[in-house]
Amino acid sequence: MIEIIDLEKSFGGQSVLRGVNLKIGAGEVTAILGKSGGGKSVLLKHIIGLMKPDKGRILINGTDITGLGIHDMDKVREKFAVVFQFGALFDSMTVFENVAFPVVEKKRISMHDMSERVMLMLEEVGLVGMEGKYPSEISGGMRKRAALARALIMEPEIILFDEPTTGLDPILLDQIHSYIKATHSKYGFTGIVISHEVPEIFDIADRVAVLDGGVIIETGTPADIRKSSNPVVRRFVAPRAVEAAS
């Protein structure tokens, strides 16, 4: 589904991505781990075509998107949805209107069909009864779930999750992960999750990639990453144990 080849990006002479190589299989959920400021969000922006690399290629279903014009890139983006770090809901819209927004923008369907579709998505994420509320009137966890519903409504092939559980307590974190896992099982999208939540992220990821120093230093299943002997990887997986050993 997605192949990243020798991707490089610098800002003001500072290298952020130094040759990223990564393959993401169709229907898989891949978690990308890395320290803050290490280039994870920059990588995500390249995958969706919001940034152009200095060098390297990104293939989506075999199409190199790095050289596409605006019109062709917009067509590729129709395969994508993004769940942003803090939900990115429109404050002036109700939950219903927020979830309906992509349909209103991109599809011509009847109000009845749109309403049914929105309510189905709200049911998927446990928000039936909240559709008339504004983002300021619901909890942070509910806002994240509304953002997930908005991402799902267009039935995208690929969903990018940028720190989807930031700022949530452990109970809400597990709840959001459960909804991601359940909806992935039902809809089969290809998922990329930027996260710091270790080991919790291992519960929803098929594969894990560790980004450090601007390159992917290791990839594998959650079990592979847990067993890694790489000291940098170990700091993500079991930081307290590494600190105690040192």
**Beta-strand relationship, 2-11 and 80-83:** unpaired
One digit per residue, the tens of pLDDT, for the chain of length 246 reads: 899 999 999 999 899 999 999 999 999 999 999 888 889 999 999 999 999 999 999 999 999 999 899 999 988 988 999 998 766 899 999 999 999 998 887 776 788 889 999 999 999 999 999 999 999 999 988 998 999 999 999 899 999 998 888 778 888 889 899 999 999 999 999 999 998 778 889 999 999 999 999 999 999 999 999 999 999 998 888 754 444 334
Question: What does the domain layout of the chain look like in residue ranges?
Answer: 1-79+159-166+192-246, 80-155
Full-model pTM: 0.88
Packing angle of the helix pair 111-124, 140-152 (nearest 10 deg) = 130
Within the chain, where are the H helices?
40-47, 70-77, 95-106, 111-124, 140-152, 170-187, 222-226, 231-237, 239-245
pLDDT in tens, 228-246: 999 999 888 875 444 433 4
Taking the C-alpha atoms of residue 237 and residue 244, their distance in angstroms, rounded to an integer, is 14
Per-residue pLDDT, 98 = 95
Helices H / strands E in the chain, number of each = 9, 10
First to last CA, the chain: 41
- Please check whether residue 82 is in contact with residue 102, taking contact to mean a CB–CB distance below 8 angstroms: no
Task: Answer for the pair 129, 142: CB distance below 8 angstroms, yes or no.
Answer: no
- For residue 199, whether the previous peptide bond is cis, meaning omega lies within 30 degrees of 0, is yes
pLDDT of residue 199: 84
What is the amino acid identity at position 216?
I
Instruction: State the pLDDT at residue 236.
Output: 80
Q: Which DSSP state fits 205?
A: -
**Per-residue pLDDT tens for 188-212?**
999 999 987 788 899 999 999 999 9
CATH number, domain 1-79+159-166+192-246: 3.40.50.300
Tokens of 16: 């952020």
Question: CA geometry: angle at 18 spanning 233 and 229, to 5°?
Answer: 15
pLDDT at 246: 42
- The pLDDT, as a whole number, for residue 239 is 57
- Are 180 and 161 in contact, with CB atoms under 8 Å apart? yes
What confidence score (pLDDT) does residue 186 get? 92
Count Cβ atoms below 10 Å from residue 153 Cβ, excluding itself: 22
Q: Is-contact 15 194, C-beta < 8 A?
A: no
Q: How many CB atoms lie under 10 A from the CB of residue 41?
A: 17
- Per the DSSP assignment, residues forming a β-bridge with 81 are 159
Single-letter residue type at 204: I
